[in-house]
Amino acid sequence: MEPSLSNVVDGRAIAAQIQKELAVRVANLKGSGVTPGLAFVRVGEDPASKVYVGRKEKACAELGIVSETHVLPEATTEADLLALIAKLNAAAHLHGILVQAPLPKQIRESVVFSTVLPTKDVDGFHPVNVGKLMLGDPTGFKPCTPAGVVELLVRSGVKTDGAEVVILGRGNIVGKPMAAMLCQKGNAANSTVTICHSATRDIKAHCLRADIIVAAMGVPEFLKADMVKPGVVVMDVGVNRVSDASSKTGTKLVGDVDYKNILPIAAKITPNPGGVGPMTIAMLLQNTVRAAEMKAN
């Protein structure tokens, strides 16, 4: 990461600022006798999931949110997982529940996400919260990664009003909710949004027209320098592990953007790591604090 460059959007610094703001709200909650509580549920021993949950636990501890982690074996049945979620739904000390994806193949993610109470769904995946997002209803919880991208745009001074936005990827976690957020009426929105995917004809032509590109396809360094216009704003959501003979592990993590070659062209660009990732955690913390505030009121 090169935070000294004025066009690099420092996700770690912006996430730290949001956590400072949240610390005041947590202190106010604790002053009224409420300690925000968040439950993590992890099924199996997926290495990436263990790392992600560990980071979220650490962030909770730093902010004063009480977290608890429930780890179930890989062979856990869907019924057993749903029974645990029912207990967490009923637990008065918990304001948020996060079930870490991916889940083993015998468990349907859609059923699991629908079972978490909408008022505790700090991931923003329950159909009620998805519906509220589509309707522009601010009382729901927004998915953390696209919400984090919006915060990066706002806090970096990027104008979204009337902007041409291209989203690479149509997934339920980033692509679709990202489009819904940016095309709404209101602040940090009002964009003209195009979603590109594997069946899109001439993705390059769409990208060259874009003022803002959000890359969330899961294809290593898919977005190349010849696909963007000068002054573009690029948000890289991708996390891909690729071979790297120079690394001790033999692999390295890269995004969906050819960062090195787009860096000189872009008006703003997120590094990877250090861009969108820290914001995802910051938005999870924000949703949890808000869930506690809603219950307290």
Active site residue 56: yes
Active site residue 17: no
What is the C-alpha to C-alpha distance for residues 223 and 256, in angstroms, rounded to an integer?
6
Which residue in this structure is represented by tokens 């809603």? 294
Q: What is the DSSP letter of 40?
A: E
Q: Which residues contact 77 (CB under 8 A, 6 or more apart)?
A: 106, 107
Angle between helices 47-63 and 276-296 (to 10 degrees): 50
- Range list of β-strands (E), the chain: 37-43, 66-72, 96-99, 164-168, 192-196, 212-215, 233-236, 240-243, 251-254, 268-269
Q: Between vectors from CA 164 to CA 160 and to CA 168, what angle results, nearest 5°?
A: 105
Q: Tokens at residue 206, please?
A: 């769409």
Candidate list 19, 100, 176, 258, residue with the active-site label: 100
Cis amide leading into 264 (omega within 30)? no
Active site residue 123: yes
Q: Which residues contact 76 (CB under 8 A, 6 or more apart)?
A: 43, 44, 104, 107
Name the helix (H) or strand (E) containing 50.
Answer: helix 47-63
Candidate list 10, 123, 211, 256, residue with the active-site label: 123
Sign of the Cα pseudo-torsion (116, 118, 122, 125, in order): positive
Distances (CA, A) of 202 to 197, 205, 229, 292, 295: 10, 6, 15, 46, 48
Candidate list 10, 56, 120, 258, residue with the active-site label: 56
Residue 169's nearest CA partner among 195, 144, 194 is 195
Where in the sequence numbering do the catalytic residues fall? 56, 100, 123
